[in-house]
Amino acid sequence: MTQKKINMKVDIGGVVWKNPVSTASGVFGFGEEYSSFFDINALGAICLKSLTLKKQVGNDSPRIAETSSGILNSIGLQNPGIDFFIKHELPKLKKICKTNIIASIAGSSIEEYAIIAEMLGSNVNMIELNISCPNVKEECITFGINSKSVENITKKIKKVSKVPLIVKLSPNVENICDISKAAESGGADALSLVNTFLGMKIDIKNQKPYFKNTFAGLSGPAIKPIALRMVWQARLATKLPIIGLGGITCTNDALEFLMAGANAVAIGTYGFFDPLIWPKIKDGIEKYLIENNINDIKNISLTNSY
């Protein structure tokens, strides 16, 4: 018997992905690091580490602490800066990468975000607007915490972006539905959610906060149920394509996000435990569709009927 052809393609803000699996920003470097583990072109997209206008050395150590079900990180957006990335990292990446490239950008002012977006031009396939980085003191965290600021920065960066714009939402907000609508009103082409939750750790030996910035970003399996709830809420609030992320560790987790209304998923922290998790989840989703006689990935969402 001939097996039905399964459609794994998804449209994210006008950009077609061959399948709904991407890396999450912050854990995948600039792509080259993981290319020795698997063919990164097997994925629908790769999202790179957030870029700032100038080189950032990041926060002082300690930067990472393991929790019972995830990690706390206070990296502080360490990166070589947009100019170095364009001149040195991007040419190397394009030699090995034929799938969609998402550049994540961050800044301490709207003007910085705009300059980075303009410099990127159409050299990448999409831009992710990181307005929700809780591990950076007094910088981009302020842009993602209320509807007015989210709509404002989205509108201004959308004007200068030459490629579709993904707005990455913070979970550390009062109402994720209002924030989602604000990004849509500002002209976002897609959303990604959620970023890390604010957390902290105490150094009981020295009797002080473990991280210099006191707070850090919590990611990993611990946040998955909350992230899933927020994706469901965002889907009911907006028609924008959604990239769901937060604590995904296996195919079943990814399927839950897709059923909750995400059009695609991104995996981050678990890549530190299993560097092959991305292709495993991609293959797992396809296997599920075949076994359940679902011929199109778009038919998996439970929220289609709501």
pLDDT tens for residues 47-99? 999 999 999 999 999 999 999 899 999 998 999 999 999 999 999 999 999 99
**Is the pLDDT score of 1 beyond 80?**
no
Tokens 């030699």: give the residue.
95
Give the active site residues.
133
Domain residue limits at 188: 10-305
Least reliable range by pLDDT among 10-14, 85-89, 169-173, 201-205:
169-173
Length of the chain: 306
Task: Look at residue 55 and tell me if it is in a domain.
Answer: yes
**Is the pLDDT score of 302 beyond 90?**
no
CATH classification of the domain holding 259? 3.20.20.70
Tokens for 291, please give them: 């076994």
Q: How many domains does the chain have?
A: 1
Task: Look at residue 227 and tell me if it is in a domain.
Answer: yes
Looking at residue 133, its pLDDT comes to 61
Task: Look at residue 31 and tell me if it is in a domain.
Answer: yes
Tens-digit pLDDT profile for residues 226-279: 999 999 999 999 999 999 999 999 999 999 999 999 999 999 999 999 999 999
CB-count burial class (<10 Å; 0-12, 13-18, 19+) for 38: middle
Task: Look at residue 5 and tell me if it is in a domain.
Answer: no
Q: Which helix (H) or strand (E) holds 51?
A: none
Task: Look at residue 4 and tell me if it is in a domain.
Answer: no
Rg of the chain over Cα atoms, rounded to whole angstroms, equals 18
Task: Look at residue 296 and tell me if it is in a domain.
Answer: yes
Cβ neighbours of 109 (radius 10 Å): 13
Task: Look at residue 83 and tell me if it is in a domain.
Answer: yes
Q: How far apart are CA 135 and CA 196, in angstroms?
A: 9
Question: Which residue type occupies 195?
Answer: N
Question: What are the strands, taking DSSP E only, across 50-200?
Answer: 64-67, 70-73, 100-105, 126-130, 165-168, 190-193, 197-200
Q: How far apart are CA 116 and CA 120, in angstroms?
A: 6
Task: Look at residue 244 and tell me if it is in a domain.
Answer: yes
Residues β-bridged to residue 200: 215
Closest CA to 281 of 100, 15, 19: 19
Contact 200, 214 (CB under 8 A): yes
Average predicted confidence (pLDDT) for the chain: 93
